[in-house]
Structure 1
Amino acid sequence: MEHTAVLPRRAALARDPMADQVATATHSDSPPDEHTPTLPSSVLLRGRKTVQIEHNGSLYQLRATKYGKLILTK
């Protein structure tokens, strides 16, 4: 059975055309403590090689390599 989790939208996501894809994620049945939504990297990267992510006042860079790996740096 699949469940749909609705994640809170931040003001920045609400202005983004991809916000609906980020705001709703689907995951399969799992124990209650493991309800972690899955987002495809394409939703975060939106066709770019690099995006910046603000988290707890710090800025991080998420980068896709030419080998298909993801690297997150501060």
Structure 2
Amino acid sequence: MSIALPASHTLSLPARTPAHTQAASGSHGTGSSAASVNSTEILRGQKAVEINHNGSTYRLQATRLGKLILTK
């Protein structure tokens, strides 16, 4: 799985490990496992990145208060 980043950068997500699976299922309580990625790995020092998903482009943006906003 990879996420499209500006300027032809691609972020490859690490392979799932038992620690990732445990943390994801334990924190959400849904029983499903999900990969865990730190936002600094996605943003790579930038304020915003574009994510292409199913033919649509989304913008992930970090605010001054440290929140994340995902818009279509």
* TM > 0.5 fold call: yes
Where 1:43 maps in the other structure, the secondary structure is helix
Alpha-carbon deviations, 1:7-60, whole Å to 9, x = none?
Answer: x458x68x84753xx2335515348x4211111001110110000000000000
Contact kept in structure 2, 1:50 and 1:64, CA below 8 Å: yes
- Greater share of strand residues, 1 or 2? 1
Gaps of 5+ in 1: 1-7
Where 2:50 maps in the other structure, the secondary structure is strand
> 1:5 matched to which residue of 2?
none
Gaps of 5+ in 2: none
Which amino acid counterpart does residue 24 of structure 1 have in structure 2?
Answer: A
**TM-score, with normalisation over the residues of structure 1?**
0.64
Contact kept in structure 2, 1:25 and 1:39, CA below 8 Å: no
> 2:37 matched to which residue of 1?
39
Instruction: Establish whether residue 23 from structure 1 lines up as the match of residue 21 from structure 2.
Output: no
**TM-score, with normalisation over the residues of structure 2?**
0.65
Quote the RMSD (CA, aligned, Å).
2.9
The percentage of aligned residue pairs carrying the same residue is 44
- Which of structure 1's runs of 4+ aligned residues deviate more than 4 A? 15-18
